[in-house]
Amino acid sequence: MSSTKNIRELSLIELKAYFESIGDKKFRAIQAYEWLWKKNARDFDQMSNLSHDLRKKLSEDFEMNAIRVDATQYSNDGTIKSRFKTFDDHLIEGVLIPTEKRNTACVSSQIGCSLTCKFCATGKMERKRNLSFDEIYDQVALLNEQSEKMYNKKLSNIVYMGMGEPLLNYKNVLKSIDRITASDSMNMSPKRITVSTAGVAKMIKQLGDDKVRFNLALSLHAPTDKKRNEIMPINESNTIDTLIEALNYFYDHTKNDITLEYILFKDTNDSLEDAAELVKIYRKIPTHLINVIEYNPIAGAEFIKPEEDTTQLFTDFLAKHKVNVRVRRSRGKDIDAACGQLANKDKISSN
């Protein structure tokens, strides 16, 4: 075996074959596999029911490229932001969002992002690389440990709404969800997982073809192509009509929930005319909800959060036209953990 092989890329069958090849028992593979996916071991020395010599052999033959918590920040509202360090010293961020009814993990899928959305701090960062499926899994495992430690309960929900565009890391995102939902791992229901996309129409259709079981959220944020082009360059190649077609395809093939995410920007997309255009889109998509999100300021962006009266008028208009709408209040704003704010800021304190 190559010393550069990541042990977590092996299936249980492959792991059994490895243990047989070194003259050991198959049940050792089951023990090791449990350490990897049930007990979330981050190095071979943690596998305490394996002999010292066997752990040494594993460390010689394999790598375990686990991420680790590098720093933590605590919000006044109970939100916890973690900065994670990868095996090759890149930094990403994830967030634990506790409420009375649920504890949600918000995880990243890429190191940086290539989409350059004008309102997003991550969009101002260079995309370094995709995260591997096990690095995404590690974020969930670590945030679950935080949830149990701080709030005495496990995660109830996972959202792929952190750094990066999940559908541009398609295979690793889907493989991470397979691991999270596997019975020999976290065994979480896919219905409690939501993948958020800025709108990659081709890959939204691929989700339908693959008949995924998790939910989908589209970051829409503007009701016309002209306005969306200005704030989200991806719209130039993935127009609203193209996304409407893709979302209908996704729903026809999966029947999974679709949510539209819509951040309000003062004097940009918050007029009643904008609301009327949004109603038209809503009626063309089998979406169950529009989340109207308050804007969270970031350095270098010219956007401003509208007044509460404007937000109320906007959402009242939607509700009057039979739109299922909810205002999503941001959590963790005081630690830059809210929507669009993840950017590995230096002020986060190291552990």
Return the closest-CA partner of residue 39 out of 138, 178, 151: 138
| Residue from 93, 135, 165, 261 carrying the catalytic annotation | 93
Q: Quick check: is 307 catalytic?
A: no
Number of other CB atoms surrounding residue 209 within 10 Å = 11
Beta-strand pair 193-197/157-160: parallel
The rounded distance, in Å, linking the Cα atoms of 35 and 41 is 5
Q: Quick check: is 339 catalytic?
A: yes
Helix (H, G, I), strand (E, B) or coil at 342: coil
Helix spans in the chain (H): 12-21, 26-37, 52-61, 133-151, 170-181, 201-209, 225-231, 240-254, 272-282, 308-320
The rounded distance, in Å, linking the Cα atoms of 156 and 154 is 6
Token pair recorded at residue 31: 């023990």
Q: What is the distance, to the nearest Å, from the Cα of residue 314 to the centroid of all Cα atoms in its chain?
A: 28
52 burial class (0-12, 13-18, 19+ CB within 10 angstroms)? Answer: exposed
The rounded distance, in Å, linking the Cα atoms of 285 and 256 is 12
Enzyme catalytic residues:
93, 339
